[in-house]
Amino acid sequence: MTDRAILRIRVVLVLALLAIAGRQLYVQLIAAPTISAVPTNPRRHLADAGRGRILASDGTPLAQTVSGVRVYSMHGAAAQLIGYDSVRYGTSGIEDAYNAALEPATRSGDPFAQWQALVDAFQGKPASVHGADVITTISPTITRVLAEQLSRYPRGAGVVLDARTGAVLAMVSQPTFDPNTIDTTFAKTVLLKQSPLLNRAIDGEYPPGSTFKILTASAAIDSGTFTPQSHFYDPGYLHIGSFTLHDNEGEATGSQTLTGAFALSSNVDFARVGMKLGVDTFYEYLHRFDVGASLDFQLPATVSHIPDPKDLSDGELAQLAFGQGALTVSPLQMALIAAAVANGGKEPRPYVVRDVLRDGVHVGTVTPSTLAIPITADTAAAVTKMMVAVVKFGTGTTAALPGVTVAGKTGTATNPLGRPHSWFVCFAPADAPRVVVAVVVENAGYGATVAAPIARAVLASALKVVR
């Protein structure tokens, strides 16, 4: 064999080795996350052994791997939010949204982790066998109270926010499931009519009922169309063309200011407000509050549904103004509308993960920011006073707390599938808001009877935690 032939063989062998090495690096550092995420991959449990923790705001492990088993300390209390990590059924919730960070660096889709693993490989260092810790804003104390309150009813959801930052302090959906047993219960759970895997707090679509009057009142005052002292007369009904609108249960609030109409929750008066605002102005404020748009949350969330304004009749616009008609929102959406009022007109961007810590390095710190500024500070102050009136002498007196001024709004949302949904949206203390609560209980009746007492209990707990 000639020297030239030997050289050719050597070149071919070197190229082949480089190709194999390149393929190996691609599989381990680039394609690994995709391969690892396949539920049927038998090697996935090896990655789970080094999976990072999900921590509460106080450092409590909400999800961690113990002796190769994923353990969820709160069981069903925040199951839809935290999610599950299953060899057989994949991931959900935070476990899914932050899967790339939670997995060990050798299998992670986190660009920082991939780069660090590559650098370590070239330096001869062993790659990290532990995933990053995902640090949340969740308060276990508030979450347990909200979960216990909602567990008394078949279906419902609630969201608790820090009014100043948009941090999610608690997010609960009922009915729920235990992520600790998901491998053995998933097949049955996914078929249940009650949909326990659904996170109703961000994916539930509900007519908001009279809680939506918070937005309508904000639009009425901010646009200069009305003032809190504007006068109305509600005889209990309103003729709109061939359509007649009635207040709930034949009620009639009579002569009231806008504040009184809001406190006593007059549908007739707010129908007039909506029609006076007109489609263009009303929809301008829907968009200002990001209703019908992405809320830029860290987990996928269903966008609120608003009807096409092109085909809207006066009667349909009137119904939208008091939260009915072809309008559906999530509890998170309503919490953010209240947060905008509580926060002086600035709607905070919601977030539930505040940091990602990998090998002692902060690689995903979140800074609180503003999602929108839908109204002025003066408007927010005026609407706050109206919400205080609801709890002081209006429909929301069942949400009152001793020694604390609560601002709130009840909602009794009719729907074609049964009894009305019970809503309450509130924040406190009204003069320096720290906590926002939004609660919906499906088919439970009046907001004052069911949702308001739940919100009251959650507020009482949260104000002891949030300073």
> Does residue 213 contact residue 425 with C-beta atoms inside 8 Å?
no
d(CA 421, CA 193): 18
The closest alpha carbon to 166, from 417, 444, 440, 436, belongs to: 436
Residue 246's pLDDT band (boundaries 50, 70, 90)? Answer: confident
102-112 confidence digits (pLDDT tens): 998 655 555 55
What CATH fold (topology level) applies to the domain 143-350+370-465?
Beta-lactamase (3.40.710)
Mean pLDDT of the chain: 90
**Opening angle at CA 460, ends 349 and 458, nearest 5:** 60
Mean per-residue pLDDT for 273-279? 97
Residue % of the chain over a pLDDT of 70: 84
Confidence at residue 48, expressed as pLDDT on a 0 to 100 scale: 66
What residue segments make up the domains of the chain, in order of their start? 143-350+370-465
- Across the range 81-102, mean pLDDT stands at 96
pLDDT at 46 over 80: no
* Model confidence at 128: pLDDT above 70: no
Q: What's the pLDDT score for residue 6? A: 67
Average pLDDT of the residues in 42-58 = 77
Q: How confident is the model at residue 69 (pLDDT cuts 50, 70, 90)?
A: very high
Residue 463 above 70 pLDDT?
yes
- For the segment 159-188, what is each residue's pLDDT rounded down to a tens digit? 999 999 999 999 999 999 999 999 999 999
pLDDT, position 410: 98
Q: Residue 396: which of 407, 385, 384 has the closest Cα?
A: 407
Sign of the C-alpha dihedral computed for residues 219, 333, 316 and 285 taken in this order: positive
Angle at 139 between CA 133 and CA 145, to 5 degrees: 140
Phi, psi (rounded to 5 degrees) for 90: 85, -145
Q: Rounded to whole angstroms, how far apart are CA atoms 439 and 228?
A: 26
User: Which pLDDT band, with edges at 50, 70 and 90, does 442 fall under?
Assistant: very high
Whether pLDDT at 49 is above 80: no
In angstroms, rounded to a whole number, what is the distance separating the alpha carbons of residues 204 and 421? 12
The per-residue DSSP string of 44-92 comes to HHHHHHTPPPEE-TTS-EEEEEETTEEEETTTTTTHHHH--EETTTEE-
- 204-222: per-residue pLDDT in tens? 999 999 999 999 999 999 9
pLDDT greater than 70 at residue 113:
no
pLDDT at 29 over 70: no
Q: Decide if pLDDT at 139 tops 60.
A: yes
Number of H helices, E strands in the chain: 17, 19
Q: What's the pLDDT score for residue 187? A: 93
